[in-house]
Structure 1
Amino acid sequence: MSIDTVERAESTPDELQPFAELGLKEDEYERICQILGRRPTQSELAMYSIMWSEHCSYKSSKIHLKQFGEKAPPSDRMLAGIGENAGVIAVNDKLAVTFKVESHNHPSFVEPHQGAATGVGGIVRDILAMGARPVAVMDPLRFGAADHPDTARVLPGVVGGIGGYGNCLGLPNIGGEVVFDPSYQGNPLVNALCVGVLPVDRLQNKAATGPGNIVVLMGAKTGRDGIGGVSVLASATFDEGSEQRRPSVQVGDPFIEKLLIESCLELYENKLIVGVQDLGGAGLTCALTETAAAAGTGMDVQLEKVHLREASMEPHEVLASESQERMLFIVEPSNLDAVLNVASIWGVIATPIGVVTNTGRVRITWHGETVVDVPPGSLADDGPIYARPLREPADLILLQADRAETLPRPTDLRETLLTLVASPNLCDKTWVTEQYDRYVLGNTILAQPEDSGIIRIDEETGLGIALSVDGNSRYTRLDPYDGARLALAEAFRNVAVTGAEPVAVTDCLNFGSPEDPAVMWQFAEAVRGLADGCQELGIPVTGGNVSFYNQTGATAIHPTPIVGVLGIIDDVAKRIPMGFSHDGDLLFLLGETANEFSGSEWAWVTHQHLGGRPPKVDFGREQALAGFMARTAELGLVRSAHDLSEGGLAQALTESCLRKGIGANVTVGEDAFVALFSESASRVLVAVPIGLRQAFEAVVAEQEIPLTLLGTTGGTSLVVKDQFEIPLDELRTAWSSTLPKLFG
């Protein structure tokens, strides 16, 4: 068929365009025609449909996300924030850290292995585009019921994809989550986080500045894989046919990505480029228009120069392809040969495909014929913005009234503990994490199952960073505002208990369809809660991702805001691990325990109950705990620390005992059930050498933190006085056998 050129579009104004099939509304199509002064060409229509999709334009979420900027506390550390490929935080005068979390949910349902693998590849390139060397990844994962047949299809593929891609890149996987819930049946969540390190003076930007500069495409060849991939898959509701859409999922090659990483870092180090943008969702369409829009310039691009895997590809396919392992560079003409030489040395394809202009238009030709002539800002910045209707879910009042605190209490606490620790969400996740390399590169200080992953970033001084990702969708279903705040509080506390200072936040907001007013209400409340929480804690949101349309048919997932917190630790030798390591240490509980069971693991596992209101969160207490943990780490007063969250004190004791095979003997007071299984926030279990008790208690008194002496470490059993005793061998069997039984 003949190519649809700009000239032809001008001469055939009434030719019908398949805008609805590409996800555009009629008024959106009319606006495109107004912007262009004519009908769009086939290539232009493809570009607008992708860039104005929910995934790329954030058209339903922008009006809510602006709170992160409006409420952001002042930060001298933030070098790049929302709107960039990833947030960048200064660690000291010389070093900076960049981190971000994104979703690859729908592709991972359609093709679990490649969907998850390319999720890792994509987030790594976001970090690379900021000028950083990627140093670690994390993976918060959500699946349907653990015993459902489709979970057995999806989970092994996802885990294999994450492990395979990350391991081949040589990046340690230092943390994450594996959570099961029926609400994710048919719509798993695969979120991926990457963190990188860079010298402060090597920070890159994406602006295509300098008319006359050359536009260079580097990396893998462009193919049909990924056409309409993440941008379209993530902007529509799942249905029966979604699983058959395998051609829409990108295919990754981690070995090309490794070469791309090294070549990019050499280009940065030698100051050979003036702008860079990775190619992820929306492919070349996004990279060309965003770089030009960021600089207020234009581009002339010869699209036939793009190296193709399939010679029969048409221009709209080349522009829409989401083939992986590609980067776009803006290069001064005097540096072009040097750039191409670096690519050649690393064995990576690099091709000049265009030039920066001062026209304010992106003009793309295909074998001499103009197929695109658009103002780049209309795609990158000026897409539609919707104030979607909001309505509290109709069942919320009844749901919140159905409090778990009124459920029948167990009579056998020993059996309850063993049941809970063996449940899919609380059991040992080694079956998953042993498929990841956690220690490659040699700078991993803490990794799963620790509360936070810690990476050393300066071998001379011991300077390090801590990272944790958390979220609890049951809490958020019961109260989106407080649920988001609880996710923030737990990630903040997980970083703090290691002795690190939490300094910045990234988030991945996973929700159902924005066209459902109840979902939009949940989203708006969660964003408000997260923004308010960050304001109270004094740490900024540096960036993140929104993933809508996470539902099958009319059934949405539980609202799932995933929060990542970055911390800084001056000396990783002083970090605090979670496991008991010596006999005879004193066990203390920091914080107060209340009768809070709504949304808890106990209520779900033993009663399949979801109702009531989630635990209360007090950020003043969280800050006090964080300051206290940093002080005790500096003074070396605490041998181990573990935050209390899902499963309460019973789970924290179990994990601390089993980490290094040392038991505990504790007394929990009159109401043992509440003491053991409540999920009250702002609590930490610490082990203190007996000789440091006085110094420890003096620091506690300074911070005015509630303190309870529970007992001591030692022996080969977990003993709760006057209640039960469980040998560690029995406890470990219950805790560690669940996932191998389910997944082989």
Structure 2
Amino acid sequence: MSALDTVTHAEQTPETDQPWADLGLKADEYERIREILGRRPTSAELAMYSVMWSEHCSYKSSKVHLRRFGELPDETPLGKTLAGIGENAGVIDIGQGWAVTFKVESHNHPSYVEPYQGAATGVGGIVRDIMAMGARPIAVMDPLRFGAIDHPDTARVLPGVVKGIGGYGNCLGLPNIGGEIVFDDCYQGNPLVNALCVGTLRHEDLHLAKASGVGNKVILFGAKTGGDGIGGVSVLASETFDEGGPTKRPAVQVGDPFAEKVLIECCLELYAAGVVDGIQDLGGAGLSCATSELASAGEGGMQVELDRVPLRDSTLRAEEILMSESQERMMAVVAPGQVEDFMTITDRWDVEATVLGEVTDSGRLVITWHGETIVDVPPRSVAHDGPVYERPFARPDWLDALQADTTDSLTRPEPTQMGQVLLDLLASPNLCDRSWVTDQYDRYVLGNTAAAMPADAGMVRVDEETGLGVAVSTDCNGRFGRLDPYAGAQLALAESYRNVATSGALPLAVTDCLNFGSPEDPAVMWQFERAVAGLVDGCRDLGIPVTGGNVSFYNQTGETAIHPTPVVGVLGVIDDVAKGVSAGFAAAGQPVLVLGETRDELDGGEWAHALHGHLGGVPPRVDLAAEKALAEVFVAAVRAGVLTSAHDLSDGGLAIALAESVLRHGVGASVDLAPLLQRDGIDAVTALLSESTARAVVTVRDEDALATLAGLAQEHGVPMARVGVTGGERLRVTDVLDLPVEQLREAHAGTLRRHFA
């Protein structure tokens, strides 16, 4: 391709061969571009369309299903949504004039190719999405998934990903307050590196990505543009991996967290000065995305002089500049009379800023290169009106046999064997201590972290005067998604919702990162459609909106796709973070209670997976009405100040929840399951291992608090059973197990260090 391939030349040479297939376009897509333009595209236009019409940027295979999120009300339980799907990140009102913006995105394929930079720039990219809303980033989270813990490639990928997340986030000075680490063979060769960021702003500080105001100037500021990441995310995210590795290896972006830290502070001062009319970060598809999205969301026209872009590499061609995904860059729309003030602020922060062009009313995005017009397109055709595929989808033939293969085929342990079972589970890859990873992250920088790993939900203070804060959790069990993608998505939603509620926060809104295999496989598209339907129906039942998110397709090796992994993030608000509830037993002599009903539900759970390598059956039953009732009990109980600890029951069931609760502060417990067994009609092994939903184990400070909690549980129809008392240095379950806390700790602590330290 040549930058001399101008619009005029393109009109005069309609039969020129172009490398559209090499850029990931299909034949019909290329023909549609020619129809839109009434001629063949220039090489620069072809570059723009190729990245913007990629799966990652255009959502061409998922749009028809994602539209269902529009069926949901755009209000949270507290009131209005200030910005939702379609913006850089969702923004919700949390009261007292404060708003919170949050979003989760994927950086899966780049993190497989180059783990450190792939993960680092994933953090950087999601942080800039939050900045682009006018917010100050206050925390990050990282849901991660890897292949088998003992596979050589996991030893390559995991340490690099963890170092990249810690290296970038720690240098930014942002606390990492939560996430997940999951190991499963299905992610071998396809690790999932999802990144979430939370930011805060006052209502009046909200900024949107649109180029409005004819004559307003378009300013590129931040780092210089280089050759790293040319087409990186957009091309990688449209390609599957084969057994030999990625079929394409474009350069992964290279991040500079110190440059981004300066950019954050610079942006916040620009917002405070009132000199920004529109703002867009440069992430996937780089300048192609920023220019076309700003133009199409504003007055509909923009003129840009591409040769003004500051470069790190002077040999870059125009097409490469448009496709580059170099990090730490932003684009602002500024009124002519405010350009000088804008430049004064960027100079003070030593941030390079260049006026590239201006907003027009032409309805066209026009880009020139040394005086020659190389792009002249309707911006919506690039940014928003790309291909929409109604991919065929069908329930896979293999699912019936998989669901029929229940855990009834496994030999359940005798009650007297449960002590060893618990130790084995605590040492298993998905339930072991995560501190080898989380200790590499700064969880308390900025001084507003109220809870972080291993808490059920991360919690940060928003207002230092009142204590107003937010809690956030992410979750997904891909095995449940494999067994039933509709239920699996709702179970991910339910657990994140429950984690936020057990911390004492009122759940308000959802963001999601939908990780799936190839959309060209009808079975995968069926899984995707079912997962979206599950989330839409689940959020409707819970009364909370989806404010944004991300889709990542082509996560598979050869013909083997990952389990459906719709990671769900839930954010909630708490009036005072000082009232937040810990997930561990804190003192002796406190009653231990189990809230919720336990059923015989072991299919897809950690006992079957970790100790038997089994996947089959149907996942636990979803009861969103029970989840909502449980959340109402927690919010009321926290406001009443009666809880001393709360831990949701999920992976590993009550056995793991009790063990993690005693390990948190070294306070033991004596438990008698008889009340639970009699009420729910189950045996002790089922009571300890079941992963039934809408449950939690809690402690209260005394008998008066117990009476208050019992009243709240009865009011909301939540079953409650008193099963024990805290104290001592052992975890005792009558007639089942009796283990020293230190033995539990020894089993729990060493797994990750043995494999990766």
**Structure-2-length-normalised TM-score:** 0.97
Correspondent of 1:680 among 689, 692, 705: 692
Give the deviation of 1:297 after TM superposition.
Answer: 2.2
Give the deviation of 1:722 after TM superposition.
Answer: 1.0
Q: Conserved in 2, the CA contact under 8 Å of 1:111 and 1:246?
A: no
Aligned mates of 1:723, 1:355 — CA distance in 2: 73
Aligned 1:305-704 pairs, distance under 5 A: 305-411=308-414, 412-669=417-674, 671-691=683-703, 692-704=705-717
Q: Conserved in 1, the CA contact under 8 Å of 2:241 and 2:247?
A: no
Task: Give the secondary structure class of the aligned counterpart of 1:518.
Answer: helix
Aligned mates of 2:629, 2:250 — CA distance in 1: 51
Aligned mates of 2:344, 2:370 — CA distance in 1: 27
Is it true that 1:739 corresponds to 2:752 in the alignment?
Answer: yes
Q: Conserved in 2, the CA contact under 8 Å of 1:110 and 1:245?
A: no
- Aligned residue in 2 for 1:709: 722
Is it true that 1:28 corresponds to 2:41 in the alignment?
Answer: no
Give the deviation of 1:680 after TM superposition.
Answer: 0.4
- Aligned residue in 1 for 2:67: 66
For residue 221 of structure 1, what is the amino acid of its counterpart? K
Aligned 1:25-174 pairs, distance under 5 A: 25-72=26-73, 74-75=75-76, 76-174=79-177
Q: Conserved in 2, the CA contact under 8 Å of 1:77 and 1:91?
A: no
Give the deviation of 1:674 after TM superposition.
Answer: 0.2
- Aligned residue in 1 for 2:276: 273
Q: Conserved in 2, the CA contact under 8 Å of 1:72 and 1:531?
A: no
Aligned mates of 1:2, 1:106 — CA distance in 2: 30
- Aligned residue in 1 for 2:306: 303
- Structure 1 alignment gaps of length 5 or more: none
Deviations 1:557-605 (A, max 9, x none): 0010000000000011111111100101000000111110110100111
Q: Conserved in 2, the CA contact under 8 Å of 1:72 and 1:541?
A: no
Deviations 1:80-107 (A, max 9, x none): 0000000000111511000000000000
**Change over 3 Å in CA distance of 1:74–1:170 after alignment to 2:** closer
Is it true that 1:10 corresponds to 2:11 in the alignment?
Answer: yes
Deviations 1:317-352 (A, max 9, x none): 000000000000001111111111111100111000
**Change over 3 Å in CA distance of 1:2–1:425 after alignment to 2:** closer
For residue 223 of structure 2, what is the amino acid of its counterpart? A
Aligned mates of 1:734, 1:464 — CA distance in 2: 35
Q: Conserved in 2, the CA contact under 8 Å of 1:36 and 1:374?
A: yes
For residue 241 of structure 2, what is the amino acid of its counterpart? F
- Aligned residue in 1 for 2:680: none
Deviations 1:157-182 (A, max 9, x none): 00000000000000000000000000
- Aligned residue in 2 for 1:293: 296
Give the deviation of 1:693 after TM superposition.
Answer: 2.1
- Structure 2 alignment gaps of length 5 or more: 678-682
Task: Give the secondary structure class of the aligned counterpart of 2:242.
Answer: coil
Deviations 1:705-741 (A, max 9, x none): 1111111111001111111211011100000110000
Identical-residue share of aligned pairs (%): 62
Aligned mates of 2:309, 2:75 — CA distance in 1: 44
Give the deviation of 1:417 after TM superposition.
Answer: 0.7
For residue 684 of structure 1, what is the amino acid of its counterpart? A
Aligned mates of 1:287, 1:14 — CA distance in 2: 30
Aligned mates of 2:570, 2:88 — CA distance in 1: 17
Q: Give the alignment's Cα RMSD to 1 decimal.
A: 1.1
Which shows bigger deviation, 78-87 or 21-30? Answer: 21-30
For residue 88 of structure 2, what is the amino acid of its counterpart? N
For residue 211 of structure 2, what is the amino acid of its counterpart? A
Aligned mates of 1:553, 1:83 — CA distance in 2: 33
Task: Give the secondary structure class of the aligned counterpart of 1:67.
Answer: helix
Instruction: State how many pairs are aligned.
Output: 744
Q: 4+ residue runs of structure 1 moved beyond 6 angstroms?
A: none
Q: Conserved in 2, the CA contact under 8 Å of 1:405 and 1:596?
A: no
For residue 699 of structure 2, what is the amino acid of its counterpart? A
Q: Conserved in 2, the CA contact under 8 Å of 1:595 and 1:674?
A: yes
For residue 491 of structure 2, what is the amino acid of its counterpart? L
Q: Conserved in 2, the CA contact under 8 Å of 1:211 and 1:297?
A: no
Give the deviation of 1:239 after TM superposition.
Answer: 2.5
Task: Give the secondary structure class of the aligned counterpart of 1:168.
Answer: helix
Task: Give the secondary structure class of the aligned counterpart of 2:241.
Answer: coil
Q: Conserved in 1, the CA contact under 8 Å of 2:231 and 2:250?
A: no
Which shows bigger deviation, 647-656 or 666-675? Answer: 666-675
Aligned mates of 1:246, 1:471 — CA distance in 2: 29
Aligned 1:164-243 pairs, distance under 5 A: 164-240=167-243, 242=245
Aligned mates of 2:738, 2:342 — CA distance in 1: 66
Deviations 1:227-256 (A, max 9, x none): 010011011111355459665200000000
Aligned 1:720-731 pairs, distance under 5 A: 720-731=733-744
Aligned mates of 1:359, 1:700 — CA distance in 2: 62
For residue 107 of structure 2, what is the amino acid of its counterpart? H
Q: Conserved in 2, the CA contact under 8 Å of 1:302 and 1:366?
A: yes
Aligned mates of 1:383, 1:246 — CA distance in 2: 25
Aligned mates of 1:240, 1:174 — CA distance in 2: 35
Task: Give the secondary structure class of the aligned counterpart of 1:425.
Answer: coil
Aligned mates of 1:470, 1:170 — CA distance in 2: 25
**Change over 3 Å in CA distance of 1:171–1:698 after alignment to 2:** same
For residue 70 of structure 1, what is the amino acid of its counterpart? E
**Change over 3 Å in CA distance of 1:290–1:2 after alignment to 2:** closer
For residue 250 of structure 1, what is the amino acid of its counterpart? Q
Correspondent of 1:262 among 257, 262, 265: 265
Task: Give the secondary structure class of the aligned counterpart of 1:208.
Answer: coil
**Change over 3 Å in CA distance of 1:316–1:241 after alignment to 2:** farther
Which shows bigger deviation, 164-173 or 599-608? Answer: 599-608
For residue 498 of structure 1, what is the amino acid of its counterpart? S
For residue 393 of structure 1, what is the amino acid of its counterpart? P
Q: Conserved in 2, the CA contact under 8 Å of 1:110 and 1:244?
A: no
Aligned mates of 1:47, 1:240 — CA distance in 2: 30
